[in-house]
Amino acid sequence: MGKLRVGVIGTGHLGSFHAKVYSAIQKKFNLDFVGVCDTKKKAAKEAAKKCNTSWFTDYHDLLDKVDAVSIVVPTHLHHVVARDFLKAGIHTLLEKPMTKTLEEADELLALAQRKNLILQIGHIERFNSAIRAIEPLLVTPKFIECQRLGSINKKKRVKDVGVVLDLMIHDIDIILGLVNSKVKNIEAVGISTVSDHEDLANVRLSFQNNTIADITASRITKEEVRKIRIFQEHSYVLLDYMHQEAFQFHKIDGKTEKKKIHIKKKDALKVELKSFLDCVRNNRKPIVSGREGRQALQVALDILDIIHSKKK
């Protein structure tokens, strides 16, 4: 394969980072960074200027110009934009949450399979150096506790969905990957305070292998916290996503010892995009394929159904 032509649809907070990464790695990875697209002309021009590429305001203009694309648009547009690129035979990295409905997700999965295309979902935490470092230490997790707290006022936060699809879905995806068992029961509560969607949610997932996961997500908290604790027989692991740090606590001769886990810190987005490009070039299954993205979406939507049922 010669130069791989890539583009970015959406130049908001996260989309601009996708563009910067592609621009920075294009020579080393034999890319032609064709351009960025945003319906806001000013935003598109500014992003293009920073990355020394072309700008567009209609993504349809890129359908015949790229081989692979990152789609970083509002959630309600995920389905229609991704569908058009997949129909055009273009490998797609679609930011999370995959879509707003399972029916939309299934259509994208069928399209990608029919056309033998890579469909990767942007669950960036799977590429966090800390997560990758602790995976070999986990044998049979029994209890998992997650906290993901932040503020809705920051420009980088998604506004068209609630905290479950915006933040919690990251931890849902991570937990599904770690536990590798089907969810058998969900308990959930959600509260709307500053938006029309739930801004705080707490969920307890029970799995068929008897693992329990307790997840809290908030976007009304000034302090930013992104931590996960994983308990198993005679040990537990504490992981800090934000600082890419992890510690293992284990019992030896009746005493608990603390050990810092060595982590070679890397830019998670750069690792994610490099992985996507490798999958495209070598026709490999993504770490977070459309199938995994759908699984996380289904659990998230089940959680929302429970939260909404309590408001009636």
Cite the residue boundaries of each domain of the chain with CATH code 3.30.360.10. Answer: 126-266+299-309
What does the pLDDT read at residue 142? 95
Q: Which CATH architecture has domain 4-123+269-287?
A: 3-Layer(aba) Sandwich (3.40)
Q: CA 147 to CA 189: how far, in whole Å?
A: 15
List Cβ neighbours of 277 (8 Å cut-off, separation of 6 or more).
Answer: 4, 6, 29, 31, 68
Tell me the percentage of the chain whose pLDDT exceeds 90: 83
Please, what sign has the CA dihedral across residues 264, 267, 268, 271? Answer: negative
- Which CATH number is 126-266+299-309's, of 3.40.50.80, 3.30.360.10, 3.40.50.12780, 3.20.20.120? 3.30.360.10
Cite the residue boundaries of each domain of the chain with CATH code 3.40.50.720. Answer: 4-123+269-287
Total-model pTM: 0.92
Residues 219 and 157 sit within 8 Å (Cβ to Cβ):
yes
Amino acid 62 reads: L
- Beta bridge partner(s), residue 187: 204
Distances (CA, A) of 111 to 88, 157, 297: 10, 29, 18
Q: CA 144 to CA 137: how far, in whole Å?
A: 14
What does the pLDDT read at residue 155? 47
pLDDT per residue as tens, the chain (312 positions): 689 999 999 999 999 999 999 999 999 999 999 999 999 999 999 999 999 999 999 999 999 999 999 999 999 999 999 999 999 999 999 999 999 999 999 999 999 999 999 999 999 999 999 998 998 888 889 999 999 998 765 445 456 789 999 999 999 999 999 998 999 999 999 999 888 889 999 999 999 999 999 999 999 988 889 999 999 988 899 999 888 899 999 888 778 889 999 999 999 999 999 999 999 999 999 999 999 999 999 999 999 999 999 876
